[in-house]
Amino acid sequence: MTVLRPRRLRATPALRRLVAETRLHPAELVLPIFVREGAGEPLPIRSMPGVLQHSTESLRGALTDAAEAGIGGVMLFGVPEQRDARGSGATDPDGILNVATRIAAGEVGDALVVQTDLCLDEFTDHGHCGVLAVDGSVDNDATLERYRDMAVMQAASGSQLLGLSGMMDAQVAAVRDALDGSGYTTVPILAYAGKYASAFYGPFRDAVESELKGDRRSYQLDPANGREGRREAALDEAEGADIVMVKPAGSYLDVLADVARASSIPVWAYQVSGEYAMIEAAAAHGWIDRRRAVLESLVAIRRAGADAVLTYWAVEAARWIRDER
């Protein structure tokens, strides 16, 4: 009797390499970068060992490293010194995110895709992703007005891809309209379509010194709902998004796979701060092989269907991938 032997293709490193279905490439990795207003030197982030809040000076070195590693791009986040109810710093040309964007566009704008987080939570004193109504709820349509202004300011600062992470209804359509109306018809939109209300964003709050009390469950998705993630992705595509994203990545691979199958535009995933912190913490204890765990987590996200991945390990992973060749 013939025995079926799938192990045949696993016998040698060369065979395994040849039959691998998924490969990581540096160009598919995007590095999130935090830039802190008023920082004289780069500052460590307590819950994200190895990740820094950059000063505008140390930002330049980080950008050069990223370009040399051959990754696809950087996603910039600003950490302002002052915050207020409407997040004024987000639309101030001298606000930290817009300053950092001009530096990045000038420094590496040809080598990397310079991307910006378009959301108000880093800039508001209440820490919500939008402006508040009198009853304290997040006012969707008033927030859209702020996003429109932010989008135009970011494009004017040199952002090459706007990352809409606020989860307001109709934000993609509003931002597209504002960009087109200001002549930025060629600036693309990355829509955080399936963005879940996740505990895995915990360390990010340290990274941006967020002042949020309460939670984001009235605008981010319920982790229980896969269908809702698919719906958001379809709506964002219909509103004119150029790329859609699922976030977090590791705990939402099913949503990612579903969106990847249904989407006719690129689908990205964000391996978030908590996913980073978990592997780093386990590795620091010697409980897990750090490099293998990082690369396995990334290949799993790609296998599930992500065309590109935002990850805090982008530069290091890019170097490892090169070494392996």
Q: Are 115 and 162 in contact (CB under 8 A)?
A: yes
* C-alpha–C-alpha distance, residues 147 and 130, integer Å: 9
The single-letter DSSP state of residue 196 is B
Rounded distance, CA 77 to CA 203, Å?
Answer: 14
CB atoms within 10 A of CB 262: 13
Let me know if 213 is a catalytic residue.
no
Neighbours of 274 (CB within 10 A): 19
Rounded to the nearest 10 degrees, the angle between the axes of helix 314-323 and helix 290-304 is: 100
Two tokens at 52?
A: 């820094």
Question: Least Å distance between CB 204 and ligand PBG?
Answer: 3
Smallest separation, CB 200 to ligand PBG (Å): 6
C-alpha torsion 220→233→239→306, nearest 10? 110
Is there a catalytic annotation at residue 247?
A: yes
* Catalytic, out of 86, 148, 247, 302: 247
Residues near ligand PBG, by CB under 6 A: 117, 119, 121-122, 129, 165, 201, 204, 216, 272-273
Catalytic residue among 195, 216, 230, 302: 195
CB of 57 to ligand PBG, least distance (A): 24
DSSP 108-131: HTTTSEEEEEE-STTTBSS--SSP
What residues contact residue 147 under an 8 Å CB cut-off, 6+ apart? Answer: 118, 120, 164, 166, 168, 171, 174, 175, 178
The residue among 75 and 112 lying less far from ligand PBG, judged by its C-beta, is 75
Instruction: Closer to ligand PBG by CB, 147 or 184: give it.
Output: 147
Find where tokens 């039959």 sit. 19
> Residue 95, SS3?
coil
Cβ distance to ligand PBG smaller for residue 111 or 293: 293
For residue 36, the minimal CB distance to ligand PBG (Å) is 15
User: Phi and psi of 151, rounded to 5°?
Assistant: -60, -45
Residues belonging to the active site? 195, 247
